[in-house]
């Protein structure tokens, strides 16, 4: 019988307390929907007593009929608990400081006062027939005798689950194991943990807590949260399932899309090397590694975690470290037929670009291959004219004249900004193409207002083929449109060669 670990997601509460992050009610609602689809057991939707807006947002999520239990946060105070009751949540999470440093300088109460307030608060929640989660805030810096005493007290008062948070992220895995094992020995209700990442150990500490008997872990999407954040959802789920062989309710194939949604809303981008959901998590550039994964993916990937499991795909990357096998595979995949001599020529040009410090995108590789093989097909779309109007008192509007499949087309669209309007206008001249812009990144290459803008786009067609393309121009709008068109032409070419 494998143990099932439940997931408590606090992206909407602790995650929203990330410095410089604030979410609209619509965004919170969309995240809650994504967490439901992902299979999260409990969603902490907010802290209803903190503001009227927070109460309304929590209430609307609680009433949305989602499958996860919706939780509201409260201090050990009746008005806070009343706000949670008002918000119609299914679980009330009450918390009180238990460490001496927080008792003295934050709560300004004695241990006995906090003990009594906590028992009263649990009792008040239970009188209303509600589920109660109790958190001993700063548990990992709390006197162990007092921590056990208050845990036993709130359990007797009816707490349904007890959280042992590492509020300031000071634990190490072995210490966390001992602490949780010590609490497990004196209480019978499920144990929950909430680990912060101040030393980069939030996930590791959560895993140790589970090994020592914890039943539930608190996480956030992309590890958002106060200071260095909380335990990352994707990393914690995949470690528990793939390394420890434990069961969860998470539909892991939705991990990537959930991460991207939250990235977009919070504007906090993950580094490429982020585990599980990072751009590079299943990318290979070096010759030995690429050749290995072409033969058998398990050679240079974990194997117990595949890209498909988490909604990712494996990518071979052309670059100065790329090997012949990978480049041959990438070109075959893009429907090029090349000789070994042509491949040598292509490899040399790719390595030259890499040596110049250039990032080589798929489209750079295809352009080189076209030049070497003379395989230049008629482009689907050629840009003839582009004009954009923008300003602080008008809706940005773009007009494009282009030759599409040999015919002149004109289209105009508005957007939230000039780039958005111009990309919308490209879609307008193409008609219904099923193409989707999946990624868009702008880097300024030099420093001033005349900087060269380097735009890299990723475009996906209706069949799921994805290509990236780049363009560099002093004009950010022109660069964006050129990169987009370059990707479209390659996708269309590939599509026509598939048949």
Given the rule CB under 5 A, which residues bind Mn ion?
14
Q: Which is nearer to Mn ion, 221 or 429 (CB)?
A: 221
Task: Please report how close the Cβ of residue 223 comes to Mn ion at its closest, in angstroms.
Answer: 12
Nearest to 73 by CA among 119, 17, 22: 17
Q: Which is nearer to Mn ion, 14 or 454 (CB)?
A: 14
Task: Please report how close the Cβ of residue 60 comes to Mn ion at its closest, in angstroms.
Answer: 23
Rounded to the nearest angstrom, the gap between the alpha carbon of residue 378 and the centroid of all alpha carbons in its chain is 39
Task: Please report how close the Cβ of residue 164 comes to Mn ion at its closest, in angstroms.
Answer: 12
Task: Please report how close the Cβ of residue 195 comes to Mn ion at its closest, in angstroms.
Answer: 9
Q: Which is nearer to Mn ion, 166 or 420 (CB)?
A: 166
User: Cα(83)–Cα(304) distance, rounded to whole angstroms?
Assistant: 45
Q: Which is nearer to Mn ion, 14 or 364 (CB)?
A: 14
Q: Which is nearer to Mn ion, 100 or 198 (CB)?
A: 198
Task: Please report how close the Cβ of residue 14 comes to Mn ion at its closest, in angstroms.
Answer: 4
Q: Which is nearer to Mn ion, 102 or 252 (CB)?
A: 102
Nearest to 367 by CA among 473, 474, 483, 453: 483
DSSP-derived 3-state class of residue 116: helix
Max CA pair span of the chain: 82
Q: Which is nearer to Mn ion, 140 or 241 (CB)?
A: 140
The two beta strands, 466-473 and 453-460, are antiparallel
Tokens found for residue 24: 């609209």
Nearest to 363 by CA among 465, 486, 246, 188: 486
Task: Please report how close the Cβ of residue 226 comes to Mn ion at its closest, in angstroms.
Answer: 6
Residue 149, burial from CB neighbour count under 10 angstroms (0-12, 13-18, 19+): middle
Task: Please report how close the Cβ of residue 443 comes to Mn ion at its closest, in angstroms.
Answer: 34
CB atoms within 10 A of CB 464: 7
User: Cα(348)–Cα(330) distance, rounded to whole angstroms?
Assistant: 16
- Closest residue to Mn ion in the complex (CB): 14
| Sign of the alpha-carbon dihedral angle for 146, 151, 155, 158 | positive
């Amino acid at each position: 019988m494998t143990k099932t670990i439940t997931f408590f997601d606090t992206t909407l509460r602790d995650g929203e307390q990330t410095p410089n992050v604030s979410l609209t009610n619509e965004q919170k609602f969309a995240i809650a929907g994504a967490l439901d689809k992902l299979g999260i057991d409990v969603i902490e939707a907010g802290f209803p007593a903190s503001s009227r807006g927070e109460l309304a947002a929590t209430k609307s999520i609680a009433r949305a009929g989602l499958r996860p239990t919706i939780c509201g946060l409260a201090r050990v105070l009746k008005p806070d608990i009343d706000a949670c009751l008002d918000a119609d949540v299914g679980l009330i999470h009450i918390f009180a400081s238990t460490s001496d440093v927080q008792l003295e300088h934050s709560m300004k109460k004695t241990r006995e006062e906090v003990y009594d307030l906590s028992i009263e608060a649990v009792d008040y929640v239970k009188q209303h027939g509600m589920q109660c989660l109790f958190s001993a805030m700063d548990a990992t810096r709390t006197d162990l005798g007092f921590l056990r005493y208050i845990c036993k007290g709130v359990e007797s008062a009816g707490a349904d689950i007890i959280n042992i948070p590492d509020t300031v992220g000071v634990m190490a895995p072995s210490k966390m194991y001992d602490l949780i094992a010590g609490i497990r020995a004196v209480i019978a209700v499920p144990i929950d943990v909430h680990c912060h990442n101040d030393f980069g150990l939030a996930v590791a500490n959560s895993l140790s807590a589970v090994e020592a008997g914890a039943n539930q872990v608190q996480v956030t999407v992309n590890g958002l949260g106060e200071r260095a954040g909380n335990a990352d959802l994707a990393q914690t789920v995949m470690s528990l399932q793939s390394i420890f062989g434990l069961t969860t309710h998470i539909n892991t194939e939705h991990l990537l899309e959930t991460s991207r949604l939250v990235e977009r809303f919070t504007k906090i981008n993950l580094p490429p090397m982020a585990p599980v959901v990072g751009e590079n998590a299943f990318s290979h550039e070096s010759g030995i590694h690429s050749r290995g994964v072409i033969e058998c993916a398990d050679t240079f990937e974990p194997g117990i975690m595949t890209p498909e499991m988490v909604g990712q795909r494996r990518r071979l990357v052309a670059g100065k470290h790329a090997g012949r096998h990978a480049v041959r595979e990438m070109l075959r995949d893009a429907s090029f037929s090349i000789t070994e001599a042509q491949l040598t020529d292509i490899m040399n040009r790719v390595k030259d670009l890499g040596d110049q410090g250039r990032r080589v995108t798929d489209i750079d590789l295809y352009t080189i291959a076209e030049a070497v093989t003379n395989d230049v097909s008629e482009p689907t779309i050629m840009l003839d004219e582009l004009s954009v109007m923008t300003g602080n008192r008008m809706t940005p509007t773009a007009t494009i004249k282009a030759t599409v499949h040999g015919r002149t087309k004109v289209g105009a669209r508005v957007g939230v900004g000039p780039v958005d309007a111009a990309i919308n206008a490209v879609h307008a001249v193409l008609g219904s193409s099923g193409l989707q812009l999946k990624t868009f990144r702008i880097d300024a290459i030099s420093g001033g207002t005349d900087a060269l803008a380097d735009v890299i786009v990723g475009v996906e067609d209706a069949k799921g083929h994805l290509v990236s393309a780049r363009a560099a121009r002093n004009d950010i709008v022109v660069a964006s449109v050129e990169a987009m068109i370059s990707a479209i032409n390659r996708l269309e070419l590939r599509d026509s060669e598939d048949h």
